[in-house]
Copies of this chain bind each other. A is one copy, B any other.
């Protein structure tokens, strides 16, 4: 399934997904093809709206296609129901293009639950993968820190966590170029006896996994960046991710309150703000968009509802990398290897 460097990779993009759709999606598609020779985009959604938006730009029309889909899945809809009731939605149709091979990868900034459900249903799972997983990159002091799972699976068994570790390692290796990525298990203490029942059992599996398992890590280690892949259930991962996403908003409010306390404070904040913004851009989840859904039989990336055009381009680049690396073939092989270890 990998593609040679000379071939274009086609990404189907759910044009109706994000909060500001199709405005940011169309702008993101334009930004993508302008800056990335290897990527073509198929915008999937209401053709009329998409065309109207595209008219604002001049671009190479051979590289951006439109695929009409009349239905839209909204943010608040129940994933399973929405998928069933709206077969002609941009989400379902975009994924079908991947299944049929008309596209190589799929992106959406829409309803996360619906994207996961529709991806799983439409693309199916990679052989032997029990549960697909979504992972997120966290800001770090230095280095790469990816947390799997951040919300696809709230109740997990040790085997699931082991598989997240395998898939996360492949992703860190082939997408971030990290040799033999360090894998940590998120827990409440370093000792292997620390943690809830599932975590303690998972520790045993990871020790035997052949992965570069460094043991338990704690909440404070996520942003150190010394552990490349951190594994946890999707309940904990999702809560920490959303907590992290709120740090920037807290700081903004604090700055504002401080500035409101007088003219001197206002000046101080004025001077500090640009510096802070520069320094904190890693916390801006709108900017470095997208969590990959690993374990499905295709490439599917889910963006933040507020994804900027830049974030959409970054997601498209990630999808292209995943396609060119043939990441799913590698995952399939590694999951098979783990099974043969009789873990």
Contacts and interface: CB of A to CB of B under 8 A. Distances in A.
Contact of A268 (B140, B186, B250, B275): B275
Interface string A245-257: 1110111011101
Nearest to A246: B220
Contacts of A263: none
Interface stretch (A13-21, A192-200, A302-310): A192-200
A218 interface: yes
A298 interface: no
A199 to B, nearest CB: 7
A280 interface: yes
Nearest to A274: B268
Given A151-B188, A196-B155, A236-B239, A276 B280 contact: no
Contacts of A258: 275, 278-279
A250 B139 contact: yes
Contacts of A254: 141, 279-280, 282
A154 to B, nearest CB: 4
A5 interface: no
Give this chain's copy count: 2
A253 to B, nearest CB: 4
Contacts of A269: 275
B188 A239 contact: yes
Nearest to A233: B196
Interface in A215-239: 218-224, 232-236, 238-239
A195 B235 contact: yes
A219 B195 contact: no
Contacts of A317: none
- State the 7 A-B residue pairs at the shortest beta-carbon distance, nearest first: A219-B242, A272-B272, A219-B243, A219-B239, A220-B246, A141-B253, A220-B242
25 contacts: A139-B250, A140-B250, A141-B253, A187-B239, A188-B238, A188-B239, A196-B233, A199-B235, A219-B242, A219-B243, A220-B245, A220-B246, A220-B249, A221-B246, A222-B243, A232-B239, A235-B236, A239-B240, A240-B243, A251-B280, A254-B279, A258-B275, A268-B275, A271-B271, A272-B272
